[in-house]
Chains A and B, each alone.
Chain A
Amino acid sequence: MSRKRGRLQVIHDILKAIQERDGKIRPTHILYKSNLSPQMMNEYLKELISKEFISENKTKRGKTYSLTYKGFEYIHKYKLIVDFVDSFGLS
């Protein structure tokens, strides 16, 4: 049985999906890659924008998302974050 994905991992999956698309991705692709419900995905995207992990770009063809420096840093330090949070019981 697979364990329920933690919040930190969901954020990591979204950011990784954005990174894999050269830093720019449409909401539909995020939905597909992150395996979340549309409502949950919107909540996560809002949170990630407010925490300045990603930025929203509005184009004629709709919205795209790109990673900020903080977003790249999160992916880079993900292992450290998870180890710290898990071992000190912060999850």
Chain B
Amino acid sequence: MVHLPIVPEWFLGYDIILELAFAIITLIVSIYAFKIYKLSGQRQSKFFGIAFLFISIAYFIQSFLNFVILSKLNENICRGLKIASVNFLNSIGIYAYIIFFGIGLITLTYMTLRIKSAKIYSLLLIIILLSFLSSSNTLYLFYLLSSVLLIYIFIHYLMNYLKNKQAKTLLVLVAFAFLLFGSIHFIFSVNHGLYYVIGHFLELIAYLFILINLILVVKK
């Protein structure tokens, strides 16, 4: 069952723009990671690219879904697909978002573990995705488990910064800290609309830091 997050009315529309921006930024990062993989054959870059590609798709879905709900399109789509209610369409969209974002985060966490095992990767995917989909409150569990995964990712970037103290590694560390705080805020967005807004702004800061880091790397 999907409990939809509470979205303040004044924020409707802004969330679509922000999610579209996140989708574009993560897509750019993904393309660059694949480019680095092509140049170096480095395995971690491939997983990083895959992770960001899935996250990007998740944001595109979320953005499109929110756009459909806000516009008059929903009636036409429901009629076209012979779906009775907009809520059903909304639920499908949220499940798609959860699956894609979940795969992205699991892939990123797997990359940070620095292990080479298809069995462990598939086990992580199956256990986490099944628990998302079989929960009585899917969205709540999704944000909760995303926060747990982000804690592991944050620790990886903290170690990376301690090993290599540079402005760029600090930028990425702070970015993942904001993503973690954002994810924690989304846990509460199931009951309070304000947390949904704060979560989006924290994500905006995080993705801007990631984009700035990418620009610094590429422009050098």
Residues of A near any B CB (own CB < 8 A) = 7-8, 11, 47, 51, 53, 70, 73-74, 77, 79-81, 83-91
Tell me if B157 and A81 are in contact (CB < 8 A).
no
Tell me if B40 and A8 are in contact (CB < 8 A).
yes
Looking at B5-13, B120-128, B166-174, B178-186, the stretch in contact with chain A turns out to be B166-174
Q: Is B138 an interface residue (CB 8 A)?
A: no
Tell me if A85 and B168 are in contact (CB < 8 A).
no
Report which of B45, B111, B220 forms a contact with A83, defined as CB distance below 8 A. B220
Q: Mark B67-95, 1 if CB is under 8 A from A, else 0.
A: 00000000000000000000000000000
Chain B residues near A11 (CB-CB < 8 A)? 40
**Given A89-B112, A90-B44, A90-B45, A84-B36 contact (CB < 8 Å):** yes
Tell me if B40 and A81 are in contact (CB < 8 A).
yes
Interface residues of chain A: helix, strand, loop or mixed (majority):
helix
Residues of B near any A CB (own CB < 8 A) = 32-33, 36, 39-42, 44-45, 48, 111-112, 156-157, 160, 164, 166, 168-169, 171-172, 213, 216-218, 220
Interface residues of chain B: helix, strand, loop or mixed (majority):
helix
A-B contact list, 9 entries, CB within 8 Å:
A11-B40, A53-B41, A73-B39, A80-B39, A81-B39, A81-B42, A85-B44, A87-B213, A89-B169
Chain B residues near A83 (CB-CB < 8 A)? 168, 217, 220
Bound form: Cα–Cα A47–B43 in Å? 13
Bound form: Cα–Cα A68–B8 in Å? 57
Chain B residues near A53 (CB-CB < 8 A)? 41
Chain A residues near B217 (CB-CB < 8 A)? 80, 83-84, 87
- Least Cβ distance of B51 to chain A in Å? 11
Chain B residues near A91 (CB-CB < 8 A)? 44
Tell me if A77 and B39 are in contact (CB < 8 A).
yes
Chain B CB count within 10 A is highest, among A53, A74, A80, for: A80
Bound form: Cα–Cα A81–B166 in Å? 16
